[in-house]
Amino acid sequence: MALLSEPIARLVEELSRLPGIGPKTASRLTYYLLRAPRDQARDLAEALLDMKERTILCAQCFNVDTQSPCATCSDPARDRSIICVVEEPLDLVAIERSGRYKGLYHVLHGAISPVEGVGPEDIRAKELLERLKDGTVKEVLLATNPNMEGEATAMYLARLIRPLGIRVTRLARGLPVGGDLEYADEITLARALDGRGDFE
């Protein structure tokens, strides 16, 4: 079996470190880039370097942007009385795509997971509490993931926030649009039933 040349092997190794990219996909991407025009490979490399050099964390919400405060925190049209707490910047992007939320955000950059050695001090919980001190925020919407880590994080934050007299809410959960009832698990169905609303 022929060995990969050093530059090819190095790129395969680096690509396979990315989440969701295994050795086979890393090899396919490497050989695609090998066949691609030099300009395309250069553009990709420059985009990666530009992203690393120009992006920073917003000092207020900890979202990723090229400025601090970020575009969302700087927007005067945003409702400053509500903060939506998310685990990662991509969660913020997903909520923004809905077009329904007009408040501010707080990005934790993780979730509490004792199994992985992530405790409350490893996420941006302390910074969230600091933001709540001035009395502007009336509601904190916990939009952590509906898994064990997200639930543990939401419960931890709710315990810290409620004594401040701030309303704590959670994203509604239930059946996905386009899903079939017969394929839904019991927990999802129970939450859909508990969170039912008036038919409009």
- DSSP secondary structure string for all residues of 103-141: EEEEE-SS--BGGGTB-GGGTTHHHHHHHTTTS---EEE
The answer to the question of residue 106 being in a domain is yes
Summarised one tens digit per residue, pLDDT across range 17-75 is 999 999 999 999 999 999 999 999 999 999 999 999 999 999 999 999 999 999 999 99
Lateral strand order in the sheet of 79-86: 103-107, 79-86, 139-142, 167-170
The answer to the question of residue 86 being in a domain is yes
Cα gap 26→90, rounded to integer Å = 23
Q: Tell me, what CATH number does 116's domain have?
A: 3.40.1360.10
The answer to the question of residue 17 being in a domain is no
Q: For the full predicted model, state whether its pTM sits above 0.85.
A: no
The answer to the question of residue 138 being in a domain is yes
Q: Which residues does the chain have with pLDDT short of 50? A: 1
Domain residues for the domain of 111 are 78-170
The answer to the question of residue 46 being in a domain is no
The answer to the question of residue 9 being in a domain is no
Query: Comparing C-alpha atoms, which of 149, 145, 193, 190 is closest to residue 170?
Result: 145
The answer to the question of residue 114 being in a domain is yes
What pLDDT sits at residue 1?
38
Total number of domains in the chain: 1
What pLDDT sits at residue 182?
72
The answer to the question of residue 126 being in a domain is yes
